[in-house]
Structure formats: C-alpha cells, structure tokens
A and B are shown apart, each in its own frame.
Chain A
Amino acid sequence: DTEVTQTPKHLVMGMTNKKSLKCEQHMGHRAMYWYKQKAKKPPELMFVYSYEKLSINESVPSRFSPECPNSSLLNLHLHALQPEDSALYLCASSQGGGERTDTQYFGPGTRLTVL
C-alpha cells in the first residue's frame, strides 16, 4: 500500500482566513514533505520533516506554517495568504533514512484558491 491521503481536496479562502491542510500516511514512512505546484510547472519543495523534526524549510514565507503531530500526520497551517499562493499543494512521504532508493509517494493534493 503506497497511499498518502490529503484533505480537503479543494479549498477556497479569503486573504484574512486561517485554514489547515492535512496529510496522512500509514506506510511507516519517517519522512514527509510539502510541495507547491503551479500550473504547467513541476512541484516546488516547501518543507521536509524527517523523524517528526523539520529538516528543510525552503525559505517559505511565514504565512505557511508546517506541523508534524506524529509520524503519520503532517499539517500545513495557512494564514493571511495572497492570491498568488493559489496552487496545488502536494504532500509526499518516503521511508527516510537517506537511502538512495528513498522513493517519494505523493498524495492527491489540495487545490487551493485564495480570493
């Protein structure tokens, strides 16, 4: 089973709203990722959690706040977003451990629209 789930599938929010994206995996993976993908572009890495600790923050604005409550869950808290933040937000997970075969599996994504 290589399933990563994400909720919600779609989210529309105003610039003053606070919302959260959720991601879950039950594959025993120890690394989890947030990516942002704009239309016709490849995914861009935002954050990496390894063994529940934030290991990479790709200089993402503070209006995006990640959280890893446990090894199966990953949240992305959103506050005061801008219209240009509208995109497909992808969660991924991998076994972790730095092995060269560390394959990332993606969830279905959350389509975010900021009005």
Chain B
Amino acid sequence: GAGVSQSPRYKVAKRGQDVALRCDPISGHVSLFWYQQALGQGPEFLTYFQNEAQLDKSGLPSDRFFAERPEGSVSTLKIQRTQQEDSAVYLCASNAGLKIYNEQFFGPGTRLTVL
C-alpha cells in the first residue's frame, strides 16, 4: 500500500489479557517508530527500529511492553497482562532514514481499550 497501515484498528481487551498490535510501514522505509497517545495528549515515543535492530526502547513504560521487527519490515507491539492504564491509541510511523531531516509518516493507529 501507499501508506503506513496498522491492524487491528480497534481492540478491546479484558484486564490481564495479552494483545499484539501490527504495523506495516511504507515499503522500503528503514526506520520504524511506535508511539502511545493518551486521550487529550500528544503522541509519546515508545521505541525505534532501524531495519531489524531495536536501537531505542527507552519509552516503553514497563517490561510488559515488547516490540519486534524480525525481518526489518513489519513490526509487532505486544503488551502482556494488559492494565487499564494501557488504554490509548498506539501509533506507528516510518521514514526512509536516509536523510537527517525527513519527516515521519504515521499510520491511523490502533485504539486499545482495556476493561
């Protein structure tokens, strides 16, 4: 596709359930980012991949959050034992990573609601 796609678009989970969120970046984009956006706030950085290497995971809020990008394209964000405070929109973004100043292209997000 032409843009970044994410699935599912909406996910409802019971507290304690594990969830997996998928991101398909723009084809050929080297860099991939995950952000978390709480209601009424701006997106907050979670983690960053360059190809398959996870170069920065400083924004992951706890060890229940895990991200991978095994083949350097599709990425999965996994949240184990979900809690109510995990309810948010999870955004994925990619960029070509070739120039310093190129912008990030965002997907539509996955809205996670934990009951």
User: Does chain A bind chain B?
Assistant: no
- Which residues in A have some Cβ–Cβ distance to B below 8 Å? none
- Which residues in B have some Cβ–Cβ distance to A below 8 Å? none
